[in-house]
Amino acid sequence: MQRRNWLNYFFLEKLAPADIPLVNLQRGALWISLAMVLQALNEIGHDWFLELLGNGGQLVPFALYLGSFLALWQAIRQVTRPQPATATIQRPRAWQVLLLLLAIVFGFRGVYEFARSIEQSVQNPPQYWNDGTSLTANAAYLLLEGRDPFTASTLGEVVQRFSIHADWTTPLRVGYFAGRVDYPSASEVQNAFEQAVQSGNANAFEAKVSYPALSFLPLVPFALFHIENVFPFYLACYLLILYIAWRVSSPAIRPWTVLLGLANIPMWSSTVGGNIDVLCFLFLILTWLSSERRWVSALFLGLACATKQTAWFFVPFYLLLIWRNTGWTEALRRLIVAGGVALLINLPFILWDAHAWLVGILTPMADPMFPDGIGIITLSVTHLLPYFPGWFYSALEGLAMIGTLYWYWRICRRHPEAAMLLAVVPLFFAWRSLPSYFACAAYATFILLAAQNRQRKDSQKFFTPQSLDAKSGPILTS
């Protein structure tokens, strides 16, 4: 009896027809937890994959993320299952209880990651585990010194200001590594890094500010008060996402909200690592949650686009959602507003040096980086397939984008939350498909599903029949 009462926090057993949306969301949350667990297994190191499976273990991350995408899609499908005509009793199955227990185990790991993120936030001097964090933090200092971050950023200055290691950098296929395709070993990167620091010639490492301006502008107050540790900002972003998830969830689903927020190890890793993806997805979540409000929603989309290039992949999905529900003119209005916001934030740097700004934001696509990640590029990295030209992977990305956009066009009215998954799927086919690109998709999907469920309970439809404003007409309706 005690066991059943405990499970009832996560699984509703006595089902009336009106309870089915809640039950479907609970089952959907179970699939989202599976997606998080699969991605979390990639965060605990690959040595045990290799020991257990030999060279075949190199494909485990590829399989884990592919499985997580399938689990997320199953979660999206789960929430629209048909309702029974009469009340029933449905107890959770053994595999569902097992998945719940596994999510709870990873939830305890999330508590540890939360404690680690607090430790990182008070550490002095900080240790940035990726060059994206150190370069954006350094950009804030450059701006306060009156220098253009997109022209003045150098690896030598970053090394002097922050304690970074060689394996926290991004090597390039030029200079020391010219003519190579396979990612260099840790010792090779270390040797090249030491030579670069001593000689001042760091062309073999990425040293440009490679994100739009809002990636470093929030860090300016830290630089102003000479606070080198910017980890508290990223922790605050994730905590704000958790608060939003709590607010949009109905009381019956909040146990899942807390559990998934803790068990979300990939997103905790991004937070602890100081990845700007956390801020970017905060804006994207708010974009979809406020999609009924023209100006607010477009503002958040513009902020996301001004933060990181990942948000650009979401723009066509957002426009399709608005187009399908209110028409192309409303979609065009919002595109103009969002584009205006993103442009306004970056305009000072465009006027400062337009070429340097353009080169900087195109860095992830244009610079000769080594192939890396957990997508299909893994098949070439492990030499199961040869390396194809860069345009081949770009073509695959483009085809994947066309396919996912077509699919979203068909389902966006019933599943607006599907954009959180479909928009990042093309990156799975890229030359570089880093895990951080996908780390935030699972919890973002859950937040939108939880918001849908609560709104449907209140109004029996996802979008309420109110007005955007006096001139815009009706808001999105199912």
Centre a 10 Å sphere on the Cβ of residue 195 and count the other Cβ atoms it contains: 14
Whether residue 244 sits in one domain with residue 324: yes
225, 70 in Cβ contact below 8 A? no
Q: Cα separation of 359 and 348, whole Å?
A: 15
Residues 161 and 234 in one domain: no
Confidence of residue 16 (pLDDT cuts 50, 70, 90): low
**Residues of the chain above pLDDT 90, percent:** 65
Stretch 350-366: mean pLDDT: 93
Tokens found for residue 404: 């996912």
Reported confidence tier of residue 302, pLDDT bands at 50, 70, 90: very high
Domain identity same for 103 and 15:
yes
Q: What is the pLDDT of residue 83?
A: 58
Are the beta carbons of 50 and 58 closer than 8 angstroms? yes
Cα–Cα–Cα angle for 264, 269, 270, rounded to 5 degrees: 100
pLDDT of residue 306: 97
Q: In terms of pLDDT, which residue wins out, 337 or 95?
A: 337
DSSP structural state of residue 376: T
Distance of alpha carbon 454 from alpha carbon 452, whole angstroms = 6
Whether the pLDDT of residue 2 is over 50: the answer is: no
Cα 340 from chain centroid (whole Å): 23
| Structural domain count, the chain | 2
Work out the mean pLDDT of the chain and round it to a whole number: 88
Q: Are residues 86 and 116 in the same domain?
A: yes
Same structural domain, 332 and 264:
yes
pTM: 0.91
Is-contact 304 280, C-beta < 8 A? yes
Distance linking the first and last C-alpha atoms of the chain: 41
- 151 and 10 in one domain? no
Q: How does residue 464 score in pLDDT terms, banded at 50, 70 and 90?
A: very low
- The span from the CA of 149 to the CA of 363, in Å, is 14
Assess whether pLDDT exceeds 50 at residue 468: no
* Top-confidence residue, 163 or 415: 415
Report how far residue 187's alpha carbon sits from residue 167's, in angstroms, rounded to the nearest whole number: 9
pLDDT band for position 321 (cuts 50, 70, 90): very high
Residue 467 counted as domain residue = no
Lowest mean pLDDT among 90-99, 304-313, 366-375, 463-472: 463-472
Same domain, 316 and 218: no
| Mean pLDDT, residues 182-207 | 88
Residues 142 and 283 in one domain: no
The secondary structure element, H or E, covering residue 137 is helix 131-144
In a domain, 80, yes or no: yes
- Say what the pLDDT of residue 91 is: 75
Q: Are residues 434 and 301 in the same domain?
A: yes
Q: How far from chain centre, in Å, is Cα 167?
A: 22
Q: Band of the pLDDT at 14, cuts 50, 70, 90?
A: low
Does residue 301 sit in the same domain as residue 391? yes
Of 408 and 471, which is predicted with more confidence? 408
Closest Cα partner for 267 from 447, 8, 84? 447
Q: Cα separations (Å) of 366 from 80, 358, 391? A: 42, 11, 11
Tell me which of 182, 209, 224 is where a domain ends.
224
Of 195, 224, 253, at which residue does a domain stop? 224
pLDDT band at 477 (very low <50, low <70, confident <90, very high): very low
- Specify the higher pLDDT residue, 475 or 379: 379
**pLDDT exceeds 60 at position 469:** no
Mean pLDDT for 12-17 is 69
Q: How far apart are CA 391 and CA 379, in angstroms?
A: 17
Strand partners, 42: none
- Alpha carbons 390 and 396: distance in angstroms, whole number: 10
Residue 89 in this model has a pLDDT that exceeds 90: no
Tell me: cis bond preceding 125? Omega within 30 of 0 counts.
yes
Which residues touch 88 (CB under 8 Å, ≥6 apart)?
Answer: 15
Backbone angles phi, psi at 14, to 5 degrees: -85, 110
Domain of residue 23, residue span: 2-123+229-459
Does some domain include residue 464?
Answer: no
pLDDT band, residue 457 (cuts 50/70/90): low
pLDDT reading at 86 higher than 60: no
150 and 242: one domain? no
**pLDDT for residue 156:** 86
pLDDT of residue 50: 64
Q: Which of 192, 224, 256 is the last residue of a domain?
A: 224
CA dist 331 and 91 (Å) reads: 44
Name the token pair of 37: 């667990």
| Between 316 and 186, residue with greater pLDDT | 316
Residues 62/64/70/74 CA torsion (nearest 10 deg):
-170
DSSP category for residue 183: P
Residue 478: inside a domain:
no
Nearest to 275 by CA among 78, 429, 120: 120
- With 60 as the cut, is the pLDDT of residue 476 above it? no
Residue 152's alpha-carbon distances to 76, 157, 212, in angstroms, are 45, 9, 15
